Chains A and B, each alone.
Chain A
């Protein structure tokens, strides 16, 4: 994508979003959304992790630097981690990396949620909302850069 996007192109902009989800909750919720035919936009590519705590903030950096327009993470609600406390540790790391991204004006391109296995509908709605938010922001400033 070039520097100057025409109005038409902007309207057509379909964001690329990379999602990291925990196997025990949000990944199942995405499944549930699918099997119960809840519609949500197809912008997200989802990568399954075995636990929130597997989310290395470097994954987020790498996705953004490779031109993802948005990145999200979603895991079990605090207190409901399959491994008891993985998401408590993850939350600290997420807060830290978002603080760093905020400095560069990139924090609004990385969002985190808590979505349990039974919340298929919440997952679909969250994806809808996220796609809209990122669309609103436009293409990532890192897209297409020689990095």
Chain B
């Protein structure tokens, strides 16, 4: 693997260089907004803030991939984001919602993120970067990372075209993962790439084991009654859909008359059944969405963050999606060349899953 060493506070040149050398036409990356962190899209290299440690800040606002959903123009965009965001972008490429050639995906090591609210409230204490020890320490004080992050086992910057890897202290290694990534890095003047031997298997094992433990401890939704109770407060605002990076239909079924009946249609259904819950189709909406994201959900927790009723949607979407992903042995966002499970088949398979 080709890479280059940097300090975490000294990455500005890298991003400026990407813009300067036209490796990308614009960059999406996190930046400081008061006590918090949000994304910005930059075309002018002088607007890159110095230093840029906000890219490591354990705060989650929007899934950056959601912003570029439908980026079908030729201009090249660089996305600097957490692994779950990069994995969502990779799914969007496979779903033809984005062109592979027009995205340079740069993943950044993640330690788990706090909600914007929690991060802003404790910004000073949390700082620009937390390691796992710090995550535990904060948890002891009642400041916990999002549930989606607790059960996330893919937090390392090993996806996309370039990875920004945290080493000890403030040492960082920037690696080219794909040819496109290596090429983009090589174009930057003050970067000379060296061969890097990065073995993170031990770290990965630890993360996977911890995430598994947390996952097993989550309350399960294991019956219709439990699901009804879980969704009791849902007002079918569909924010969870709108903020989901891999929910991509241009015209959602639930925005159309059948999925979102109004007036006479609504009354007709009520007449048919005697009584219906309103807003209509709450369960149908969620179960349909579970199915629609079942192979592509990257477990980013954006749906949960977006819910105005504080429904812990991580316990629904990523948890069930993972079970579907398991039967197809598919990991969303892992490999841009791997076909989506519903677009391929084996002649002999799955017979034990049909009846």
Residues of A with Cβ closer than 8 Å to B? Answer: 57-58, 61-62, 65-66, 78-79, 85, 88-89, 91-100, 102-106, 111-113, 141-142, 145-147
Residues A61 and B355 in contact, CB atoms below 8 Å apart:
no
**Which A-B residue pairs are the 8 nearest by beta carbons?**
A88-B345, A95-B353, A111-B355, A112-B354, A95-B350, A146-B275, A141-B224, A96-B324
Residues B225 and A141 in contact, CB atoms below 8 Å apart:
yes
Residues A100 and B221 in contact, CB atoms below 8 Å apart:
no
The answer for the CA separation of A140 and B319 in the assembled complex, in Å, is: 24
List 9 interface pairs A-B (beta carbons < 8 Å), by A numbering: A61-B287, A62-B284, A85-B345, A94-B354, A98-B354, A99-B320, A103-B323, A112-B355, A142-B224
The answer for the CA separation of A120 and B288 in the assembled complex, in Å, is: 34
**Nearest Cβ on chain B to A54's Cβ, whole angstroms:** 14
**Nearest Cβ on chain A to B329's Cβ, whole angstroms:** 12
* CB closest chain-A residue, reference B316: A103
**Nearest Cβ on chain A to B11's Cβ, whole angstroms:** 41
Residues B222 and A147 in contact, CB atoms below 8 Å apart:
no
Residues B283 and A65 in contact, CB atoms below 8 Å apart:
yes
Residues B345 and A92 in contact, CB atoms below 8 Å apart:
yes
Residues A96 and B327 in contact, CB atoms below 8 Å apart:
yes
B202: chain A residues at CB < 8 Å are none
Residues B294 and A92 in contact, CB atoms below 8 Å apart:
no
The answer for the CA separation of A61 and B295 in the assembled complex, in Å, is: 18
Residues B354 and A65 in contact, CB atoms below 8 Å apart:
no
The answer for the CA separation of A60 and B247 in the assembled complex, in Å, is: 20
One of B283, B290, B347 near A78 (C-beta < 8 A): B347
The answer for the CA separation of A79 and B349 in the assembled complex, in Å, is: 12
A66: chain B residues at CB < 8 Å are 273
One of A58, A89, A94, A102 near B288 (C-beta < 8 A): A58
One of B228, B277, B353 near A94 (C-beta < 8 A): B353
Residues B327 and A103 in contact, CB atoms below 8 Å apart:
no
Q: A96-B324, A98-B354 are in contact. Are A58 and B277 (CB under 8 A)?
A: no
